[in-house]
Amino acid sequence: MSQLTDLESQQNDPSFANIWQELKWRGLVHVSTDEVELEKLLAGDAITYYCGFDPTAPSLHLGNLVQLLLMRRLQLAGHKPLGLVGGSTGLIGDPRPTAERTLNTKDTVTEWVGYLQAQVRRFLSFEGANAARMVNNLDWTAPLSAIDFLREIGKHYRVGTMLRKDAVASRLGSEEGISYTEFSYQILQGMDYLQLFRDYGCVLQTGGSDQWGNLTSGTELIRKVEGKHVHALGTPLITNSDGTKFGKSEGNAIWLDPEMCSPYAFYQFWLNTADADVAARLKVFTFLSRAEIEALELSVAERPFAREGQRKLAYEVTSLVHGVEATEKVIAASAALFGNGDLSVLDEQTLAAATSELPSAKIDDAGLGIIDLLVASGLSESKSAARRTVGEGGAYVNNAKISDPEAVISPEQLLHGRYLLLRRGKKNLATVEVAAR
């Protein structure tokens, strides 16, 4: 990812000299095992740390992005990351607060492991003295028999402690309860930390604060088995300033896979950030310096109409996730929709994503007149209204003004041989798709 490659030049930036204070300033520290010791540890020689991602879906999402960028920050500070994609824990799934997960097939989980590993790789460097490693907990879980698991790992866990974990406690109070399968998840995650401690000397695990019970499962297991003290860091759950859940769009997660959430939709999500949330999002989701973020925060406060902070946020995060080239295409598409660019230069995928939320209509023949098109698309409620729009100079096809009410659209005007973008006035848009023959 070119945007992340560019970050290598920041490795000597003063902000990475005390990475713990940098993480605190960015609002990435909610809970930790020992703040004083962690600050000393991260200021010293390179340590190995890890974060785990379970393949319970074919893509990571914005909540995972917080962890990916945290891992990147620690690597830029000189530490060694382990990216764990849970081939075994993904077969079970972390307990949700409300209901039991649907178990996916082994083949599905294996396929998703590959998808998630590819996504994690894009955010870490696998070269140099502190090169990242990719690990899969199925490698050490699959060979372990149930008897060995209970004797070697299970004996170190106390049921009373396990019952007090937040996710378990909330499920026990529900009508559905919790299965032994999901109840045992915290043991498996604890075993992961123990294995990585033994194999790589890993001494820090990161994750969301809602995973704190699972994070400390590992630290306690290592203390009991190895007599060593290791660390965990929980980041805060990101919410909007109005208290609503972050990263949801009409009930759907914002995925990192462009097939599940297009770069255009991804960019628009960030562009629509509320003024009150911009500074916090810039700190967590970008690698901009303090000075840059403070300048943007001032701009949002003094010139909110300019939306400078939102535009910078959308550009930076979309570039990190989808690359600069895709981001530039998105910006060009946004401009072109409202007449400030050439629609014909947009590739079909970007055009389709940019117009996916617009009113649309399908027709059988490109040889319709402008009046019929305005009515068919819903931009005009009647032919007489459509004629008034044309007469007043407010009708556009593919950003070209149509002044003749008798104008007929030719096949040559179709974008990618099938699309038309209609506009009434400055802001009323619709698409027409001509059926393929």
Instruction: Give the SS3 label for residue 273.
Output: coil
Q: What domains lie within the chain, and their CATH numbers? A: 2-237 (3.40.50.620), 252-350 (1.10.240.10), 360-434 (3.10.290.10)
Please report the pLDDT score of residue 409 as a whole number: 84
Please give the single-letter amino acid code of residue 193: Y
Task: Please check whether residue 299 is in contact with residue 306, taking contact to mean a CB–CB distance below 8 angstroms.
Answer: yes
Helices H / strands E in the chain, number of each: 20, 13
- Sheet with 400-401, side-by-side order of all strands: 360-363, 428-434, 419-424, 395-397, 400-401
How many other β-carbons are positioned within 10 Å of the β-carbon of residue 309?
Answer: 25
pLDDT tier at 1 (50, 70, 90 boundaries)? very low
Task: Please check whether residue 137 is in contact with residue 86, taking contact to mean a CB–CB distance below 8 angstroms.
Answer: yes
Instruction: Give the SS3 label for residue 251.
Output: coil
> What's the longest Cα–Cα distance across the chain?
85
224-254 as b/e, with b when 16 or more CB fall inside 10 Å?
ebeeeebbbbbbbebebeeeeebbeeeeebb
List, in order, residues 6 or more apart from 175 with CB less than 8 Å away.
none
Render pLDDT for 81-91 as a digit per residue (tens, 0 to 9): 999 999 999 99
pLDDT above 50: residue 330: yes
Render pLDDT for 202-238 as a digit per residue (tens, 0 to 9): 999 999 999 999 999 999 999 999 999 999 999 999 8
| pLDDT, mean of residues 26-52 | 97
Containing H/E element for 422? Answer: strand 419-424
Please give the single-letter amino acid code of residue 389: T
Q: Distance between alpha carbon 77 and the CA centroid of its chain, in Å?
A: 23
Nearest to 210 by CA among 163, 167, 162, 168: 167
Lowest mean pLDDT among 33-42, 172-181, 349-358, 369-378: 172-181
DSSP H helices, 33-93, are 35-43, 62-76
Please report the pLDDT score of residue 4 as a whole number: 58
Q: How big is the chain, counted in residues?
A: 437
